[in-house]
């Protein structure tokens, strides 16, 4: 594995920082019991680890939390609920906010984690949906979001950065429009949490869906949803919470409203260590490292005859994702060559975002996607450019 060049960080970041593995292992050895279900010392330690991680992540995303009693802004970390991944969070948001007859505004830049739950809501509950388009580079005009809003619009839900084109949407402008129009605003931050600063209060985000295993450098199986105060969301997952067990229905209190059953405690421990690792390295310096490598990659690929890069080739307003094709070569075939002949791991195909590929004309075969992480080096990028150049010349 040591010679493998991993360029599939948009699927999951790899490798994980050493401290993540260490923390997960020591949590399992030393205090891995079920919090809320036992009052023993170990249970309290586990509880404190979970609360500590909620606090860290909540501070990281800065949700707007207004205490209804005092009217003062508070930072109640219990509005951050853990889920298995961004997909589960997006399902909770879509199923917990849309009723029969409601209208939802989303975009063609979405991942299937948004497209499919909305399509089910349309099919099963008579929800109406509008998919707002994008310009050729993949940017959505915030004013198009405003134009799509109707009297019965109950939710606007938008992808922060595309996992195909890497474009970063103007979330702040979209949030301002939703505030003016009085519509809850949800953001899929699967590709941006830990990569770009996200300030829910400033960006007027009602619901933020994030995953732990990409830019937050945690393990797989842990993610979450952060909810601004006043944002209405019903629970759609019912079960044990460890508290108020006599109650016949699922309880409304935070964080239990959106958490049912035993949580992924090892995953939360790993995510906590990953947060500390990000804080030590600095989110800006991780981003600058990735973007510098992206710039080099784009520059190198652009000079290879027969290579088409999708989206724009500048580095502003984007994350370190690059989709391309080689003329007359199937993306899956290129991916196999890169893997087998050059030991370079990528993602090929539709990358779970079929509407984006229809938009850029690469449906149904898709693209080859390189995505860069903090452990990639200049040598990795040079090797990737050289490999693509040799494949294109064959
Ligand atoms: C934009 C986007 N949204 C949602 C997801 C789903 O994330 P997860 O697999 O962690 O649920 C992904 C994963 O690739 C993604 O890129």
Centroid of ligand 1 to alpha carbon of 190 (angstroms): 5
Atom 14 of ligand 1 has which residue's CA nearest to it? Answer: 11
> Selecting from 1.10.10.10, 2.60.40.1260, 3.90.1150.10, 3.40.50.720, what CATH number does the domain 5-16+282-393 have?
3.90.1150.10
Centroid of ligand 1 to alpha carbon of 304 (angstroms): 30
Ligand 1 atom index nearest CA of 351: 14
Mutate-to-test residue for ligand 1 from 138, 224, 352, highest number of ligand atoms within 8 A of CB: 352
Centroid of ligand 1 to alpha carbon of 70 (angstroms): 37
Centroid of ligand 1 to alpha carbon of 84 (angstroms): 12
CA distance 191 to 11: 9
CA trace torsion 263, 269, 274, 276 (10° rounding): 120
Ligand 1 atom index nearest CA of 88: 11
| Residue 205 confidence (pLDDT) | 95
pTM for the complete prediction?
0.96
**Phi, psi (degrees; rounded to nearest 5) at 268:** -65, -40
394: buried, middle or exposed (CB in 10 Å: 19+, 13-18, 0-12)?
Answer: exposed
CA distance 293 to 320: 8
Ligand 1 atom index nearest CA of 211: 10
Ligand 1 atom index nearest CA of 87: 11
Residues of the chain with CATH 3.90.1150.10: 5-16+282-393
Mutate-to-test residue for ligand 1 from 112, 211, 369, highest number of ligand atoms within 8 A of CB: 211
Ligand 1 atom index nearest CA of 86: 11
As for ligand 1, residues whose beta carbon falls within 6 Å of it are 85-87, 111, 113, 159, 163, 188, 190-191, 211, 223
Three-class DSSP labels, 79-121: HEEEECCHHHHHHHHHHHHCCCCCEEEEECCCCHHHHHHHHHH
Instruction: Write out the chain's pLDDT in tens, 394 residues.
Output: 458 999 999 999 999 999 999 999 999 998 878 887 667 888 888 889 999 999 999 989 987 655 444 555 556 889 999 999 999 999 999 999 999 999 999 999 999 999 999 999 999 999 999 999 999 999 999 999 999 999 999 999 999 999 999 999 999 999 999 999 999 999 999 999 999 999 999 999 999 999 999 999 999 999 999 999 889 999 999 999 888 899 999 999 999 999 999 999 999 999 999 999 999 999 999 999 999 999 999 999 999 999 999 998 898 999 999 999 999 999 999 999 999 999 999 999 999 999 999 999 999 999 999 999 999 999 999 999 999 999 999 9
pLDDT digits (tens, 9 = 90+) for 52-105: 999 999 989 987 655 444 555 556 889 999 999 999 999 999 999 999 999 999
Please state which CATH number belongs to domain 18-279.
3.40.640.10
Three-class DSSP labels, the chain: CCCCEECECCCCCCCCCHHHHHHHHHHHHHCCCCCCCCCCHHHHHHHHHHHHHHHHHHHHHCCCCECCCCCCECCCHHHEEEECCHHHHHHHHHHHHCCCCCEEEEECCCCHHHHHHHHHHHHHHCCEEEEECCCCCCCCCHHHHHHHCCCCEEEEEEECECCCCCEECCHHHHHHHHHHHCCCEEEECCCCECCECCCHHHHCCCEEEEECCCCCCCCCCCEEEEECCCCCCCCCCCCCCCCCCCCCCCCCCCCHHHCCCCCCHHHHHHHHHHHHHHHHHCHHHHHHHHHHHHHHHHHHHHCCCCEEECCCCCCCCECCEEEEEECCCCHHHHHHHHHHHHCEECEEECCCCHHHHHHHCCCCCCEEEEECCCCCCHHHHHHHHHHHHHHHHC
Centroid of ligand 1 to alpha carbon of 245 (angstroms): 34
Structure tokens at 28: 């399992």
Question: Are the C-beta atoms of 268 and 53 separated by less than 8 Å?
Answer: yes
| Residue 32 confidence (pLDDT) | 78
Centroid of ligand 1 to alpha carbon of 224 (angstroms): 12
pLDDT digits (tens, 9 = 90+) for 1-31: 458 999 999 999 999 999 999 999 999 998 8
CA distance 215 to 10: 8
Centroid of ligand 1 to alpha carbon of 86 (angstroms): 6
Sign of the four-CA dihedral 279, 284, 289, 294: positive
CB atoms within 10 A of CB 217: 29
Ligand 1 atom index nearest CA of 110: 1
Residue with tokens 């605003």: 185
Residues of the chain with CATH 3.40.640.10: 18-279
Q: CA angle, corner 92, sides to 90 and 95, nearest 5?
A: 105
CA distance 385 to 379: 10
């Amino acid at each position: 594995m040591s010679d493998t060049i991993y360029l599939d960080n948009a699927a999951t970041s790899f490798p994980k920082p050493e401290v993540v593995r260490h923390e997960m292992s020591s949590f399992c050895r030393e205090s891995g019991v079920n919090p809320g279900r036992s009052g023993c010392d170990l249970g309290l330690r586990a509880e404190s680890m979970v609360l500590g991680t909620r606090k860290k992540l909540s501070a990281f995303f800065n949700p707007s939390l207004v205490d209804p009693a005092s009217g003062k802004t508070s930072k109640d970390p219990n509005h951050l609920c853990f889920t298995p991944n961004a997909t589960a969070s997006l399902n909770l948001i879509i199923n917990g906010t849309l009723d029969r007859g409601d209208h939802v505004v989303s975009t063609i830049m979405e991942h299937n984690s948004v497209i499919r739950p909305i399509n089910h809501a349309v099919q099963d509950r008579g929800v109406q949906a509008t998919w707002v388009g994008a310009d050729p580079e993949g940017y959505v005009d915030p004013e198009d979001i405003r134009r799509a809003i109707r009297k019965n619009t109950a939710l606007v839900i938008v992808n922060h950065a595309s996992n195909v084109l890497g474009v970063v949407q103007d979330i702040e402008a979209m949030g301002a429009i939703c505030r003016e129009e009085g519509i809850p605003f949800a953001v899929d931050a699967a590709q941006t949490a830990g990569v770009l600063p996200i300030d829910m209060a400033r960006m007027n985000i009602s619901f933020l869906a994030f995953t732990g295993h990409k830019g937050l450098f945690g393990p797989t199986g842990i993610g979450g949803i952060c909810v601004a105060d006043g944002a209405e969301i019903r629970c759609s997952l019912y079960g044990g919470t460890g508290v108020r067990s006599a109650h016949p229905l699922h309880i409304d209190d935070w964080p239990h409203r959106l958490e049912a059953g035993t949580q992924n405690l090892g995953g939360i421990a790993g995510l906590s260590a990953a947060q500390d690792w990000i804080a030590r390295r600095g989110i800006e310096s991780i981003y600058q490292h990735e973007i510098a490598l992206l710039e080099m990659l784009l520059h190198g690929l652009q000079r290879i005859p027969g290579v088409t890069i999708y989206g724009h080739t500048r580095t502003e307003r984007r994350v370190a994702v690059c989709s391309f094709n080689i003329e007359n070569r199937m993306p899956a075939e290129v991916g196999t060559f890169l893997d087998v002949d050059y030991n370079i791991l990528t993602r090929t195909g539709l990358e779970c975002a079929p509407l984006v590929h229809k938009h850029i004309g690469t449906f149904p075969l898709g693209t080859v996607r390189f995505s860069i992480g903090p452990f990639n080096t200049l040598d990795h990028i040079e090797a990737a450019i050289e490999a693509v150049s040799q494949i294109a010349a064959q």
